[in-house]
A and B are shown apart, each in its own frame.
Chain A
Amino acid sequence: MLPTPHVSCDYDKVYEPSEDSFLLLDALEKDRAFLTQFLGSQGVNLVCEVGCGSGIVTTFMMQNNIPSKYSIYVPTDVNPWALESTVGTVQRNECGQRFFSPVRTNLVHSIREQEIDLLVFNPPYVPAETVPAVPQDWELDPTKVASEQRPDDWLDLALLGGDDGMVVTWQLLNNLDSFLSAKGVAYILFCARNKPLDVVKHMQEQGWQSELVEHRKAGWEVLSIYRFHR
């Protein structure tokens, strides 16, 4: 079993690694050989973790050459504290020789189309009335000062996924063709209330290979990770 990265960040502002994060690590570890074979050993792979949070998953991939040692890691998050934490986690775990360059954006909206070879997403999957708006900070709205923000707003954003907890995940799944490269593959985490079997059926109808990689009962939640590719 591969070691889990050391993580230490301000969990008032950034999602603390939990069962879902660890399940994602296990899924990626389990699929190491698949990824090497699927993505090929020839080129260089662009790896994008969407919503990198504490940085545990991106750091794990960097430490263990997932999907290969010729990878470019460009994780994204909307939360500025998450990006700061990800930088800290990467530094703390000595993966300095990997190419790493985080980007603040919503999902992958600023990454050029059809470039991502490996996409990993632990979405805000908790069913809720709405998906919270991105808190406006001083960078986007200079009239607001940092002290007016509630740190909880950022945690809500990491958790709450609207109807069925699927609103944000659908934004990604519905555009997967434009996000992934031709040989690209996406790993996405679901909880049972997301109705993953319905999601998988819909994706299969759209021609996506959709396979269960890992699943686990975590407290009162059942978590699963599916991979999607053409």
Chain B
Amino acid sequence: MKFLTSNFLKCSVQDCDRSNDNFPLKFDGEKCQLEQDEGLEFNPEFLLRIIDRVDWPAIVSVASDLGNTTLPPTKPEFANEELSEEDMIILRDLHTLLIQTNIVEGQMMCRNCGHIYYIKNSIPNLLLPPHLA
């Protein structure tokens, strides 16, 4: 799964919907294998729109799970007009993280119920066993 996908996934257990801890899922950094998908081209306009939309604290949290503690605590802001060189560096870094980073294998856990979900062949499995579904 792409790093950015973590911003849209929550625990599948319905009871956890009443909790604020069902998102973001907590990734096990030691068990996660990452891969960079270099083929995806940098598109600053796409990045700006994504940053505008995402839940930034969740991005920071998942990045930290995976060993990246360099993100600013608050969402970066960009002037509407010309992007500066500095802006472009930030956007390129976020492209590398959000779009190009693929979690190939690994696991993630709900902070509320503790259920562990596995990622295999880049596909997260959020199906629940029958006793939880």
Chain A residues within 8 Å of B, Cβ to Cβ: 42-44, 46, 70, 72, 74, 78, 80, 83-84, 87, 96-97, 99, 101-106, 109-113, 115, 133-134, 136, 139-141
Whether B130 pairs with A104 at a CB distance below 8 angstroms is: no
Check: B133 CB closer than 8 A to any chain A CB.
yes
Binds A, one of B26-34, B43-51, B59-67: B43-51
Whether B46 pairs with A44 at a CB distance below 8 angstroms is: yes
Contact with A along B94-133 (1 / 0, CB 8 A): 0000010000000000000000001011111111111001
In the complex, A176 Cα to B26 Cα: how many Å?
27
Check: B52 CB closer than 8 A to any chain A CB.
yes
Whether A103 pairs with B118 at a CB distance below 8 angstroms is: no
The minimal Cβ–Cβ distance linking A197 to chain B, given in whole angstroms, is: 31
In the complex, A89 Cα to B4 Cα: how many Å?
22
The secondary structure that dominates the A interface is loop
What are the 9 A-B residue pairs with the smallest beta carbon separation, nearest first?
Answer: A110-B126, A105-B126, A44-B49, A101-B5, A101-B2, A104-B125, A110-B12, A109-B12, A140-B129
Known: A101-B2, A101-B5, A112-B10. A134 touches B23 (CB 8 A): no
Known: A97-B40, A97-B41, A101-B5. A70 touches B123 (CB 8 A): no
Whether B133 pairs with A104 at a CB distance below 8 angstroms is: no
What residues of chain B lie closer than 8 Å to A42, measured between beta carbons? 49
What residues of chain B lie closer than 8 Å to A115, measured between beta carbons? 8
> Which residue of chain B has its CB nearest to the CB of A109?
B12
Whether B8 pairs with A70 at a CB distance below 8 angstroms is: no
The minimal Cβ–Cβ distance linking A176 to chain B, given in whole angstroms, is: 16
Whether A104 pairs with B50 at a CB distance below 8 angstroms is: no
What residues of chain B lie closer than 8 Å to A105, measured between beta carbons? 12, 126-127
Give the one of A102, A104, A134 with max B CB within 10 A: A104
A-B CB contact pairs (8 Å), 19 listed:
A44-B46, A44-B50, A72-B4, A80-B125, A99-B4, A99-B40, A104-B127, A106-B127, A109-B14, A109-B126, A111-B8, A111-B9, A111-B10, A112-B8, A113-B10, A115-B8, A134-B127, A139-B118, A140-B130
